[in-house]
Amino acid sequence: MICRVCDSTRLDLVIDLGQQPWCNHFLRQEEIGKEPFYPLKVVHCADCETAQLDFTVPKETMFGDHTYLSGVTRSLSQHFEQVAHEVNQRFFSQHPDKTVLDIGSNDGTQLKHYQKLGWKVLGVESSKGTAQRALDQGVPTQNVFFDKIKAQGLGGPFQVINASGVFFHLEDLHSVADGICSCLAPDGVFLVQFLYMQKIVENGAFDQIYHEHLLYYNLKTLERLLQRHGLTCFDAYLAPIHGGSMMAFVQHRDGPHPSTGREKAILAEEERKGSNRKDWYLNFAQRIAQMKRENIEILGERKSRGKRIYGMGAPVKGNTLLNYFQIGPATIDCLVEKNELRRNLFSPGMHIPIRMENEIQTAPDVYYVLAWNFKHEILKNHADLLARGVEFLFPVDPDWVA
């Protein structure tokens, strides 16, 4: 194994979450027990300091089809709308011919907001069903894996290239980065939205570690990768999406956009906290083990008092948590979910059945909230249940959520 960013062989194990199933594949009844398990371990590179998985599930398994739809949640769609407005106004308000490419465009939610502002849009989405859904809604989308070769045939250059939570499939990382560089206009802005590792650690949100996320960037480690491909970050800030996502604004190394200084402040904070250092991650590993002991104890106590417990949401990340904690249907009767694509399916590994939210007749005594990043939305939508004494437990309870 060599480092996915810098090719170093000096990789140290820092977090071991055991053997886990491919978390984005919810199971049909007949698939239960047949799902393969893969190691889920985070290693830290002693040279470039990037945290990363030491094992890659084949990308056809990971991205060939999935059931995550970004349009499903209102707060995420609102965030994407705000992003489109910000980019349009800050950089291209006077530009006559505006084009945006979204890599990993999902169901086209982000691009629809650009369309409303008069932009010409193109999405690239590797999941066939999801790409079709975007097409059905009038968002031009190609069903391919983006890389250096594919970049040539997309009709660039683009003023804006967007990548939300997808800049991590790094079998092809360097090819993806080269492709972005080649089809980004000279004055273009590449907006990378990624789970910010420093915040993941501070939130205790270890469930964000799963096979799809091969790399765990801080701003320093992202910048190192960008530099290698002739790109550089000139602005960045944190947004509350997924409990703390970094919005990094990137341009060509000789691009025209002046630094705002915000990215430098973030880099300085990483240095001060030591969040790129190996011991930062070793401390995190200890905290994760402690969370497991605490969660098993709390749920066991509720069970011993005869309480009925449902999971709230069946997010992909919930499978990391359930499998690592070893919480199954003996503890949680079902996972309550809105996404119709997950109807009648079971969680991989722990095999908890999924039920649709609008079909739940009687509320449980306890909701164990796996979709914790939508805490405020969930508590608001279920104010009636709270008033009736239903308990909402948050296994991960960050200080900052949508």
Residues that bind Zn ion (CB under 5 A): 3, 5-6, 8, 45, 47-48
- Peptide bond preceding 398 in cis form (omega within 30 of 0): no
Buried-exposed string 314-345: b where 16+ CB fall within 10 A, e elsewhere: bbbbbbbbbbbbebeeebbebbbbebebbeeb
| Closest separation in Å from C-beta 45 to Zn ion | 3
Tokens read off for 237: 């800030």
Residue 319 near residue 21 (C-beta atoms within 8 A): yes
Instruction: Please tell me the number of Cα atoms within 13 Å of 381 on its side-chain side.
Output: 12
| Closest separation in Å from C-beta 3 to Zn ion | 3
| Closest separation in Å from C-beta 277 to Zn ion | 14
Instruction: Between 16 and 47, name the residue whose CB sits nearer to Zn ion.
Output: 47
Residue partners of 218: CB distance under 8 A and separation at least 6: 196, 197, 198, 270, 275, 276
Instruction: Between 47 and 365, name the residue whose CB sits nearer to Zn ion.
Output: 47
| Closest separation in Å from C-beta 9 to Zn ion | 9
Instruction: Between 84 and 197, name the residue whose CB sits nearer to Zn ion.
Output: 197
| Closest separation in Å from C-beta 282 to Zn ion | 18
Instruction: Between 222 and 321, name the residue whose CB sits nearer to Zn ion.
Output: 222
Phi, psi of 387 (to 5 degrees): -65, -30
Residue 222 near residue 35 (C-beta atoms within 8 A): no
Tokens read off for 65: 């089809």
Cα-Cα-Cα-Cα dihedral sign, residues 339, 36, 368, 316: negative
Residue partners of 266: CB distance under 8 A and separation at least 6: 219, 236, 237, 238, 246
Residue partners of 48: CB distance under 8 A and separation at least 6: 3, 5, 6, 8, 221, 224
Residue 295 near residue 319 (C-beta atoms within 8 A): no
Instruction: Between 154 and 173, name the residue whose CB sits nearer to Zn ion.
Output: 173
Measuring CA to CA, which residue among 27, 281, 10, 48 is closest to residue 173?
48
| Closest separation in Å from C-beta 46 to Zn ion | 8
Measuring CA to CA, which residue among 180, 214, 174, 171 is closest to residue 194?
214
Instruction: Between 47 and 397, name the residue whose CB sits nearer to Zn ion.
Output: 47
| Closest separation in Å from C-beta 365 to Zn ion | 48
- 186: three-class secondary structure by DSSP: strand
Tokens read off for 32: 């239960």
Residue 281: how many CB atoms within 10 A of its CB? 22
| Closest separation in Å from C-beta 51 to Zn ion | 10
| Closest separation in Å from C-beta 215 to Zn ion | 10
- 371: three-class secondary structure by DSSP: coil
Which residues is 15 bridged to in the sheet?
42
Instruction: Between 3 and 236, name the residue whose CB sits nearer to Zn ion.
Output: 3
Instruction: Between 3 and 176, name the residue whose CB sits nearer to Zn ion.
Output: 3
Instruction: Between 174 and 303, name the residue whose CB sits nearer to Zn ion.
Output: 174
| Closest separation in Å from C-beta 38 to Zn ion | 22
- 199: three-class secondary structure by DSSP: helix
Instruction: Between 83 and 215, name the residue whose CB sits nearer to Zn ion.
Output: 215
